[in-house]
């Protein structure tokens, strides 16, 4: 088996990473690509917290991620090994986490806030994609998601944005922006614009790796 081609997808909260990845993955079969998400490696702390403790706890720091486990699983894929992982449900008591089997594939996508900050992971990335959006647009997306999907109040969501999300973005993501191979500006609300970009990148990869 040839070494898999590893793509890192980074971007701040509200940048539109989720939709980008969904569109991107649709260009490949399960045998061609696998996805490892940093979110699934949070240390399990939220379920023991009160609402106020949850508000104060900063989930936007590298120290909240079990990066040793994250790195080890990526290296398993590089060696052609599968692993099992429990899905992270963002402390949603109504969600039942799935147990996922992650299988090796010719293309490995690693996504998350800190993938370029964690040195061992950064070293194995063959291509890096940085997704960004203007701050006011990212904030609107974040507030909408936190209110609808995670049950935060508008006050709590905005508190986290100002005190956790933006400072962490400036310290742990923004310094790596200009090192990325591709920068995707995602200010649009038009799905076709992002789909077109994923069409282009996926075709480039298919020509390089899979044909």
Where residue 93 falls among pLDDT bands split at 50, 70, 90? low
SS3 of the chain: CCCCEEEEEEECCCCCHHHHHHHHHCCCCCCCEEEEEHHHHECCCHHHCCHHHHHHCCCCCHHHECHHHHHHHHHHHHCCCCEEEECCCCCCCCCCCCEEEECCCCEEEEECCCCCCCHHHHHHCCEEEEEECCHHHHHHHHHHHHHHHCCCCHHHHHHHHHHHHHHHHHHHHHHHHHHCCEEEECCCCCHHHHHHHHHHHHHHHHHHHHC
Q: What CATH number does the domain containing 25 carry? A: 3.40.50.300
In the predicted model, what is the mean pLDDT of residues 153-174? 92
| pLDDT on residue 95 | 67
pLDDT of residue 88: 76
pLDDT band at 46 (very low <50, low <70, confident <90, very high): low
The model's pLDDT over 152-161, given as tens digits with 9 standing for 90+, comes to 788 888 999 9
Which domain covers residue 93, as residue numbers? 5-210
- The number of folded domains in the chain is 1
pTM over 0.85: yes
Percent of the chain with pLDDT over 90: 58
Range 177-200 average pLDDT: 88
Model confidence pLDDT, tens digit, residues 4-18: 999 999 999 999 898
Band of pLDDT at residue 128, cut at 50, 70 and 90: very high
Give Dmax over CA atoms of the chain in angstroms: 53
């Amino acid at each position: 088996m040839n070494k898999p081609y590893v793509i890192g997808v980074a971007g701040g909260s509200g940048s539109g990473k989720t939709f980008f990845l969904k569109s991107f993955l649709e260009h490949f079969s399960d045998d061609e690509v696998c996805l490892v998400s940093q979110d699934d490696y949070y240390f399990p702390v939220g379920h023991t917290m009160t609402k106020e403790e949850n508000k104060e706890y900063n989930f936007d720091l590298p120290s909240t991620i079990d990066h040793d486990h994250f790195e080890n699983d990526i290296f398993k894929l590089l060696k052609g090994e599968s692993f099992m992982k429990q899905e992270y449900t963002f402390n949603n008591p109504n969600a039942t986490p799935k147990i996922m089997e992650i299988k090796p594939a010719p293309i490995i996508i690693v996504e998350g806030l800190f993938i370029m900050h964690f040195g061992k992971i950064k070293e194995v990335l063959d291509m890096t994609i940085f997704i960004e959006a203007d701050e006011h647009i990212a904030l609107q997306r974040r507030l909408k998601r936190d209110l609808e999907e995670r049950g935060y109040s508008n006050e709590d969501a905005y508190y986290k944005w100002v005190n956790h999300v933006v400072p962490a973005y400036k310290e742990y993501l923004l310094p790596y922006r200009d090192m990325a191979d591709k920068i995707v500006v995602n200010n649009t609300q038009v799905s076709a614009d992002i789909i077109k970009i994923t069409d282009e990148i996926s075709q480039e990869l298919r020509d390089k790796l899979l044909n």
